Every structure is written in structure tokens, then in C-alpha cells.
A and B are shown apart, each in its own frame.
Chain A
Amino acid sequence: MKRVAIVVALPVLLLAAWAVLAGAHLVDPIFLPSPWAVGKSITDGLLNGALLKDLGITLGRALVGFAISALIGIPLGLIIGRFKIVAAATQPTVDFFRSVPATALFPLFLFLFGLGDKAKISIVVYACALVILVNTAYGALQVKNARILSAQVIGASRWDIFWKIIIPESAPGIFAGLRVALSMAFVLIIVTEMFIGTTVGLGHQIIDSQMVYRIADMYAGIVVTGIVGYAANLVLLSIEKRALHWVGH
């Protein structure tokens, strides 16, 4: 009960502050409409299905991008983390691309993948795979040599050691990467929906509403985005808690 109160306190406070600002007409509603106007827009959007459709499409794009990033980032990260020579050979390149914002590369991705979902998802993958890769490599670097040595004496093959020791012991790093990448996937997919042609998706809904001054609708999109991101993180966190119960003892 006390825990719930602590978790809920700040959101309630923010909502209350928003209500007071809007209720006392301290801010022009063209910049910040009242919470109830936004709430009404969300309910309407969900009931008539328009917002639900945007939400579904955005969620789908983000999760596909996230999944592909994991499939690329985890194996490469493990290889880089376990083989010093691969790490040395790839580090400058990885660090270079890590410093280049995905959003700055829009033209390149448009040229390579066209205007459709492929370009949007590729941008997510570019940024997220790098984050997962770097964190996974760091996790793989932490694997205790003594554990590998003792497994070798026991008679474990390289394959056994890879699957049964290196992967589980790298898991804290893998999850750290996944958590950052998940939030990033949502942010990036919304940005691409705003700036790369599409007719559906929360990013499209936000930018469209903004252009025609349907500000309550715009905030509806923003609030839903935040809630979805939070919920996705919650799911990942509960998986992580179960998978990494052994860490930190």
C-alpha cells in the first residue's frame, strides 16, 4: 500500500499541477489544453478506433525494430565481448556510429529503403542494435575467467561454455542494453512517423494535429505514447527481475 502511494504520488502531483495551470487560465490553451480536454480526446480516439489504430501501428513498428535490434546486437556484442581482437578491430567503427544520431541519417535511410516502414524500422535498428551491442559486449567482458576454466576442467566444450556460461553471465549487460533500446525504439519510431511519410501511427497523429491546431488531440497522442513506453518498460523489467534474480548476491 505504502509502495503504491510512493509510486503514484509524483504522477498525481504533476496531473494536479497541470489541472491548476489550465483551470486558472494561467496558460493559453493553444499551448497547453486542460487535462480533461486531453482526456476526452483520448477516450474519443480510443472509442472511435482512430487512436487505437495509430497506437497499434506504432507499437508494431517499434517492437519489430526492437526485436531485430536484439537479434543483431546480442550475438555481435557477445562476439566482441569475448574476442579481444574483434573488440580492437571494431571499437573505432562502433564508437563512430554510436556518436552519429540516427535522425541525422534520415536522407541516407530514405535513399536506401524508400519511404515505407522499412526505412523507419531501419533507423530504429541502426540506433538500438548499437546500444544493445555495446552493453552486451560489456556484459560478456564481465564473465569470470575462473568459471570458464572450471567448466573446461569439468569437460565442457566451447559450445557448452558459450550457451551455459557466457550467455547467462552476460545477461545483466544484455538486459541493460535492452532496456535503453526499448525506450529509444519508441522515441525514434515516433520521430520517423513525424518526418517520414506515413498516414498512420502516433507520430503522424501528433504532427498532423499540431499542424491544424487540434492541440488537445496532439497531447492525446503524446500522453498515449508516454503510457505505452512506460508499460513496455514495465513488462521488460518484470522479465528481467525473474531472469536476473541471482545478480547482486
Chain B
Amino acid sequence: MCLIDVVNVTKTFRSSLDEGKEVKAVDGLTLQIQKGELVTIFGPNGCGKTTFLGLLAGILHADSGFIRWDVKAGDPLQVGYVFQNYGDTLLPWRTVEGNLAFPLEVRRLDKLEIDKRVGKRLELFRLSEHANKYIYELSGGLKQLVAIARSTVYDPQLLLLDEPFSALDYSISRLMWRQFRKFWSDLNVTTVFVSHNVDEALFLGDKVCVLTPRPARLAAEIPIPFGRTRSLDLLKDETFFAVRAKVLSAFENGRAS
């Protein structure tokens, strides 16, 4: 079933430099996101991926075209958004627990219910032992886990992630991919994950949407046939290479067009 329908969406910014020259970030993007699906968005840096997430989150509004969603899932749609710069979005004056409580506090849930939900989410993300630590006492990987946990603690219908692991080194990123895929199965939330790393996009996604360089258009939509549970060995598998080659040629064709 289709949760979100992106139809012919265009978004243009007026550059603050360059004498207000108009910059087209997204151009006629059409795309469907199925309920319960993990879609990875793969495209070159600066192609308009973040703009696309902003449009989905409702922070930005399309100049033309529209985004509609299945209102049976909720209206307005509850969205969780994990930003690239987790350091600037978490609350450093609160503990891990306090950060997870924040979205529930603004929903005016009572203290007992908040504690219960926060405890459950901490457990799922294996963060219980860090509950009382402050954000600055955590490593980069753990901080990003807290950010993801916070964005899902209120059970949003749509989870958006903007290159959440790009600041981590390669070995930590790989562990995060595995963990994320595992948590995600339990969360059961429709997810759009933006990445500029082809391995990440393939390992995590049920479907990869390859975007063209700016302005972003859909270059290709490639299903990923690896099933729900995935191990890191997949990264060395022949079938992985085959899909990877397909994605890369779509990426190159997108650049050429």
C-alpha cells in the first residue's frame, strides 16, 4: 500500500549569495513510498537530497507538484527526522533519558507513561546503561543512536534520516548499518534514508532511489532483493556486487543526462 505519493515536485531557492540567483534544488520529482518500506535515497553531494527530506517533513513547501499521504495513517502525519549534525539537534543539558523524554513531554503525556515509553525505547536501542549519561559523555556513534531513538520514541508513521552516519568512521558506520537494520525491523516504520554511500544505501534499503545531480530528479528506482535480516557478510557477496553495479550505472547515467 502506498503511504506517500510524491508527484512532480519542484523546489527552487533564491541564493543568499550570488545576487539572489535562483537555484533549482528539486525538479519534477515523482516517487512512491510504500507503507513499511525502507527507501534509501542515493545521489551526489548537494543534489537536493536534504531538500527532498525537508519537503517530506513539511519544513519546506513545494513550488509546484504535491506530496500526498494516506490520511488513514494520520493527519497530520507524525514524522521523525534524524539530522546529519546530531550534535546540534540533541539537548546537551539533558541526559540520554531526558532527550528521549522531550518529544513525549511536548505531547503532554504523563510522567509514568513517558518513563515507560522511554525505558522501552532505550532497551530496544541497547542504550539502557547510558540512560543517565549526558550527551557529551557519549561517543559519536552512541550520540547518533540516541538521536534515532529520540526520533522514533513517539512512534512516527514516517522516519527520515539525513546521512546520519556520515560523520562516523567506516568501521563504526558498518556496525551502525547492521544495528540500524535490526532496530528498524522491530520499529516497523516507513523510512526514507538519505545517503551518499552506495554500500550503505544498498545494505539498508528495500529500494534504492537514485537521484540525478542538482536539480534532483529520479534517475532510477532499483529494488533490493536481500530480505529483511542482513549480515555484514552481504557486503562481500556476489549478488550484492550485481545490484551495486546496477545502482552505479544508474548513478552515472543520471550524471550524464
Q: A residues within 8 Å of B by Cβ?
A: 144, 146-147, 149-157, 160, 164-165, 168-169, 171, 245-246, 249
Contact = CB atoms under 8 A, between A and B. Distances in A.
Given A160-B105, A164-B102, A164-B105, A155 B78 contact: yes
B80 to A, nearest CB: 8
Given A155-B103, A157-B106, A249 B88 contact: no
A154 B81 CA distance: 8
A245 B92 CA distance: 9
23 contacts: A144-B88, A146-B89, A147-B88, A147-B89, A149-B89, A150-B81, A150-B89, A151-B106, A153-B58, A153-B59, A153-B81, A154-B80, A154-B106, A154-B151, A154-B154, A155-B107, A164-B106, A171-B93, A245-B134, A246-B93, A246-B135, A249-B92, A249-B136
B83 interface: yes
B59 A165 contact: no
A171 B92 CA distance: 12
B79 interface: yes
A150 B151 CA distance: 9
A245 B85 CA distance: 21
Main SS at interface, chain A: helix
B142 to A, nearest CB: 14
A154 B156 CA distance: 9
Most buried by A among B85, B93, B103, B105: B93
B164 to A, nearest CB: 12
A164 B59 CA distance: 20
B91 interface: yes
B107 A150 contact: no
Contacts of B127: none
B134 A153 contact: no
B84 to A, nearest CB: 9
Given A149-B59, A246-B134, A156 B106 contact: yes
Contacts of A168: 91, 93
Interface of B: 57-59, 78-81, 83, 85, 88-89, 91-93, 102-103, 105-107, 134-136, 150-151, 154
Contacts of B78: 155
A153 B89 CA distance: 11
A93 to B, nearest CB: 29
Contacts of B154: 154-155
Given A154-B106, A164-B105, A246 B88 contact: no
Contacts of B57: 153
Contact of A153 (B79, B93, B105): B79
Nearest to B82: A150
Nearest to A157: B106
B221 to A, nearest CB: 26
Taking each of A152, A155, A160, A171, which has the highest tally of chain B beta carbons within 10 Å of its own beta carbon?
A155
Nearest to A146: B88
A132 B119 CA distance: 40
Nearest to B153: A154
Contacts of A249: 92, 136
A107 to B, nearest CB: 45
A113 B226 CA distance: 80
A202 to B, nearest CB: 38
Nearest to A160: B106
A151 to B, nearest CB: 8
Contact of B85 (A146, A151, A156): A146
A160 B85 CA distance: 22
A142 to B, nearest CB: 12
Nearest to B151: A154
- Lowest 8 CB-CB distances: which A-B pairs, in order? A249-B136, A150-B89, A146-B88, A156-B106, A246-B92, A153-B81, A154-B103, A144-B88
Contacts of A156: 102-103, 106
A154 B88 contact: no
Contacts of A144: 88-89
A117 to B, nearest CB: 37
Contacts of B103: 154-156
